[in-house]
């Protein structure tokens, strides 16, 4: 695991060298073990290394035999041993035992198509040097893993192309100006995170997952469009069963994934909660290795504490188990550290910061996580809610606009024991404008309603259409149209919520603690197989995640299977009504001057009052607090706009 950075197009080696050192210096936390770089006319690339595999031999850049190709790499290639043998059979000679070296030889053998052979999480850059180590760069090839587990950000400025594992490296090197992106604000308010390929910083974009990009150092400002190399929905062919049932096949693929994710030359642990996902991973890992390490975050608030069940599970598995307790006081004392750790703000990242800190407290350098299971096997309420919102949208389209507005207002203000206030507001958004988004799924992930976002940003509805990130999500919807409704939601979860929030937070917050987090449920063969299955094999109305449960039920204690679905979260609702709430209220009186032209502080204060009076959930004021605090620390103020009259809508 590493952090990488590069500049393409500058001919002056001294300038390249100085800038690259600054960029790499800003991401030392991603790779505290060592630094390596290549500076030649036309390109400078480098890496900070967190040593996991082949500790003495995996230094970067890694070269091919004749030094005409070099690679810098962030991530892990889980099938590197098999690829190594295949490439050796083709005549390639290896100098190290690292997975990094597989990439440079795979590129040498298969060119851009090398990415189709790689199984893992990765972002890398290959530099072509036809004249050898001291010659000029002729081409740079960038690629990102199929699911976007590892990030890669890019920008073009002053005619040069720059890339890095974190936006902060681009800011540190002067490749990007510290200015807020207009597109980012809309997606943040809608979904609680900035939607890719946009980023929070104007002019910076993310290379999409499952895409590659080539740059000519002589014309770096003319970077070609990213090329997709992975879309499992294009050819959803189920592999022949050969008498093996889907649960058996899932079990075999998950076992293979866990075993591959356990390969390391340093201690590995497992995030263990009371849920099916982490328990299954821990159980499979305990069969592959003795005395596995597990750890759990504990809270004094009983409703949120999963430590007791996790403790019993760890004991049954013979695991070396640790619990790390996090209190409101502990969280508050380290909140500034957590905010500073964000590469981009989200409503969920502080959770991940403290979980990663807990892992390092447990002495771990690598941890396995259950991320991705809910997206594949239908663990979220969004799978059911999408069906409900689709029916509501169909009904709303039959009504004239005036009646839709009336119905939306009635729904938003309704009192219901069956539906939460949050659910009713989402439903009211469907009633008001059922075509705000290209798929009803997106209503299930709303933070603020589109009408509210349009009012706050002084935009015309629909907010969606004019944003740079909307084509990406619209393309995900198009890709899902050939699938059944369950698989469509799976795909949209993978391409939006998982990508834009969970994976991004996991990478940034874990790497802040120099911790590598691996996600076996997102192993490509497992993802491809589950997506290929029809809904009838994955969905049972009264049995959540039925396919996964059937695949691993012999590994799971009965109490874990029987308990209702629990979402791992911190006790924010409780904490925000204590000292943390005082901190949030104070933040709303110290508003970011960079943020004010986009969102007036009156809006934040109104949302806070709504929370205190029980009219909205904790996530809305918390999202504005995180955005404000992050912006104050990282972005430059815009020129103030003329004062605006009137109060924005707060619903």
Question: Which of helix, strand or coil describes residue 531?
Answer: helix
Contact 71, 62 (CB under 8 A): yes
Regions in the chain scoring below 70 on pLDDT: 1, 53-54, 223, 235-241, 302-303, 417, 461-463, 565-568, 638-651
Nearest to 356 by CA among 497, 569, 151, 516: 516
What is the residue extent of each domain of the chain? 2-228, 246-375+502-562, 382-494, 572-634
Please state, in angstroms and rounded to a whole number, the distance separating the CA atoms of residues 182 and 492. Answer: 24
Residue written as token pair 């949302």: 607
pLDDT for res 646? 45
Residue spans of alpha helices (H) in 400-444: 401-412, 421-432, 441-444
Q: Does domain 246-375+502-562 have CATH number 3.40.50.2000?
A: no
- CATH architecture of the region 2-228: 4-Layer Sandwich (3.60)
Q: Note the pLDDT of residue 224.
A: 75
DSSP-based three-state secondary structure for 646: coil
**Residue 340 token pair:** 């500073």
| Residue labelled with tokens 């590197």 | 80
End-to-end CA distance of the chain: 42
User: Following DSSP, what letter does each residue of 54-74 receive, concatenated?
Assistant: STTT--SSEE-TTSSEEEEEE
pLDDT tens-digit readout, 355-411: 898 888 778 889 999 999 999 999 999 999 999 999 999 999 999 988 988 888 888
pLDDT score for 641:
43
Contact present, 141 and 214 (Cβ < 8 Å): yes
User: Omega into 61 within 30° of 0, i.e. cis?
Assistant: yes
What is the structure's pLDDT at 463?
65
Asked whether this chain's domains 2-228 and 246-375+502-562 adopt the same fold, the reply is no
Give the three-class secondary structure for 277. helix
């Amino acid at each position: 695991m590493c952090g990488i950075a590069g500049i393409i197009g500058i001919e002056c080696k001294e300038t390249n060298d100085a800038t690259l050192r600054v960029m790499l210096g800003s991401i030392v936390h991603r790779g505290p073990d060592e630094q390596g770089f290549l500076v030649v006319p036309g390109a400078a690339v480098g890496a900070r290394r967190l040593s996991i595999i082949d500790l003495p031999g995996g230094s970067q850049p890694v070269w091919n035999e004749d030094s005409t190709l070099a690679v810098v790499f962030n991530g892990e290639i889980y099938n590197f041993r098999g690829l190594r043998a295949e490439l050796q059979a083709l005549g390639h000679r290896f100098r190290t035992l690292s997975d990094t070296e597989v990439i440079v030889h795979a590129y040498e053998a298969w060119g851009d198509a090398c990415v189709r052979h790689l199984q893992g999480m990765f972002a890398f850059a290959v530099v072509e040097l036809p004249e050898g180590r001291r010659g000029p760069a002729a081409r740079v090839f960038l690629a990102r893993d199929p699911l976007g587990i590892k990030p890669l950000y890019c920008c073009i400025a002053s005619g040069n192309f720059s890339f890095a594992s974190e936006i902060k490296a681009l800011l540190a090197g002067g490749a990007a100006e510290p200015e807020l992106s207009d597109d980012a604000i809309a997606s943040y308010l809608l979904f609680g995170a900035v939607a890719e390929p946009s980023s929070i910083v104007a002019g910076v974009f993310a290379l999409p997952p499952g895409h590659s990009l080539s740059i000519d150092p002589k014309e770096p400002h003319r970077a070609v469009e990213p090329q997709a190399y992975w879309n499992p929905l294009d050819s959803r062919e189920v592999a022949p069963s050969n008498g093996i049932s889907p649960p058996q096949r899932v079990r075999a693929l998950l076992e293979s994934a866990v075993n591959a994710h356990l390969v390391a030359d340093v201690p590995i642990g497992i995030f263990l909660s009371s849920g099916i996902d982490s328990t299954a991973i821990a159980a499979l890992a305990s069969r592959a290795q003795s005395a596995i390490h597990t750890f759990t975050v504990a809270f004094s608030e009983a409703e949120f504490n999963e430590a007791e069940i996790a403790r019993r599970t760890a004991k049954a598995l013979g695991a070396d188990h640790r619990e790390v307790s996090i209190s409101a006081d502990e969280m508050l004392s380290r909140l500034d550290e957590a905010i500073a750790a964000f590469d981009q703000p989200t409503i969920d990242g502080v959770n991940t910061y403290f979980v990663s800190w807990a892992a390092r407290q447990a002495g771990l350098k690598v941890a396995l996580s259950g991320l991705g299971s809910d997206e594949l096997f239908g663990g979220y309420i969004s799978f059911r809610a999408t069906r409900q919102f689709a029916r509501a949208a169909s009904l709303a389209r039959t009504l004239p606009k005036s009646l839709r507005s009336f119905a939306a207002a009635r729904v938003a203000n309704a009192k219901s024991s069956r539906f939460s206030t949050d659910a009713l507001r989402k439903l009211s958004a469907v009633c008001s404008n059922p075509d705000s988004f290209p798929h009803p799924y997106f209503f299930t992930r709303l933070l603020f309603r589109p009408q509210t976002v349009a009012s706050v940003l002084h935009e015309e509805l629909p907010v969606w259409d004019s944003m740079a990130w909307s084509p990406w999500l619209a393309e995900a919807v198009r890709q899902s149209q050939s699938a059944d409704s369950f698989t469509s939601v799976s795909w949209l979860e993978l391409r939006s919520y998982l990508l834009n929030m969970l994976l991004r937070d996991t990478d940034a917050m874990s790497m802040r603690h120099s911790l590598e987090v691996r996600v076996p449920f997102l192993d490509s063969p497992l993802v491809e197989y589950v997506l290929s299955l029809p809904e009838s094999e994955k969905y049972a109305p009264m049995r959540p995640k039925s396919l996964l449960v059937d695949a691993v039920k012999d590994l799971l204690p009965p109490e874990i299977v029987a308990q209702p679905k629990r979402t791992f979260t911190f006790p924010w609702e409780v904490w925000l009504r204590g000292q943390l709430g005082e901190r949030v209220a104070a933040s709303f009186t110290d508003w970011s001057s960079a943020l004010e032209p986009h969102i007036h502080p009156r809006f934040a204060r109104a949302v806070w009052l709504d929370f205190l009076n029980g009219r909205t959930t904790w996530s809305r004021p918390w999202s504005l607090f995180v955005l404000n605090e992050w912006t104050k620390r990282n972005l430059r103020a815009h020129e103030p706009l003329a004062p605006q009259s009137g109060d924005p809508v707060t619903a």
